[in-house]
Amino acid sequence: MNIPVPSGEYAVGTFTYTVWNDRPEALYPSRMRSVASRVYYPVPKDRVNGCTRAKCMSRNMAAGIRKAFRIPLNYDKMEAAGENTSQCYADAPRPDGEKYPLIMFNHGMMSYREGNSFLCIELASHGYVVISVAHALDGICTEFDDGSFVPYDRSITKKLYQPFIGGMVAALRFTRSKGTAEELAEKFDVLQDKYCGFMQSRLEEWVKDTQASLKYAKEHLSGMIDFEKGIGAAGHSFGGDTAYKLCADDPEYVCGVNIDGAPFGNRRDTVQKRPFMQISCRANEKVAAGIYLKHEQPVWKVLFRDMNHVGFSDMKHRIRFASMTGKLAPDVMHENLCKCHLEFFDAYLKRVKGEPDIKSSDVITVTRFESDM
């Protein structure tokens, strides 16, 4: 496996933190919900000499992936082959006197905190602090700073659609439906209102997780983060939907990117007031139709060819099943996915350029929607 090497001017450091007992767990009210996060941050390259590379994943994470994706992922074999060494440095010296813009990142349902680490590391190497938030019970494995961990709650799988079989059939029919963006958005709303009440309620919990993690960052990491620029939001799948909701509802978030996520939640009256980018594969293109409606700032649509949903994560470099990740080569996917994020956040978060320089190619098709309000 070829782990992508970050291309920015900085090396990348990383550490974790946990917000303990933030609130009662909505699924099990007798328990308290804690929020674990991983920080990726820029470090001058001459300051990482002697530092230790972080691991891509822990043994617990590898076991969770093996169970979730039914793939023969052997942790000990990865370690022996040197395939579990990340392109960032554990507890590298933190920025001294330099502050960087912040991107809050959320993984997808049944993913994990480091599930998009290659993208997060690339962003940090170009001068961003990226905080990746874990979502206990919904992620395949959530690890805390005291060594404890919470595995994926398998009861969630059948709650994603209620009733499950009927919802799955309706979702499949929707992907084959036709219509204008307005018609597709209405069809998706009908689908989620009938079958996806659990997903709508769970979105609120993910937003609370992100805000708890952000509160910690404001209290403890203000020395490395430039909060005056506002905050960027990004995420994959359900984490991308979380980014959309944060940008729509919270003025602290100034722009956001959704990687192949559907806009769950009651968004009929939502007006997106922030610049936003929707990245999709062909199979999930239609579920995002509502994102291109009702917005006051530019919305970008980037459609990847030869991609499947899971392929937008680090799994693209680990799973060789095109049916899961798509036929597009991992390095080509990574290069284009990172370019989309960097161009977008350089324009709307760092504000070092007027707008993203992203053009259609043989890999992506790019559409820019002007304000329609």
Domains of the chain: 11-146+200-369 (3.40.50.1820)
Q: What is the model's pTM? A: 0.96
| Residue 71: predicted pLDDT | 76
Average pLDDT of the segment spanning 61-75: 81
Distance CA 75, CA 25 (A): 31
* More confident: 267 or 317: 317
Distance CA 272, CA 267 (A): 10
| Residue 373: predicted pLDDT | 59
pLDDT tens track for 99-153: 999 999 999 999 999 999 999 999 999 999 999 999 999 999 999 999 999 999 9
Distance CA 154, CA 27 (A): 12
Distance CA 136, CA 140 (A): 8
Strands (E), the chain: 11-24, 32-43, 53-55, 85-90, 102-106, 129-133, 141-143, 149-151, 231-236, 253-259, 276-281, 299-304, 364-369
> What's the whole-number average pLDDT of the chain?
94
Strands (E), 56-100: 85-90
User: Residue 223 burial (CB < 10 Å; 0-12/13-18/19+)?
Assistant: exposed
pLDDT tens track for 212-228: 999 999 999 999 999 99
Residue 77 confidence (pLDDT) above 70 = yes
Distance CA 216, CA 140 (A): 24
Report the Cα 304 to chain-centroid distance in Å: 17
DSSP 100: B
Average pLDDT of the segment spanning 269-296: 94
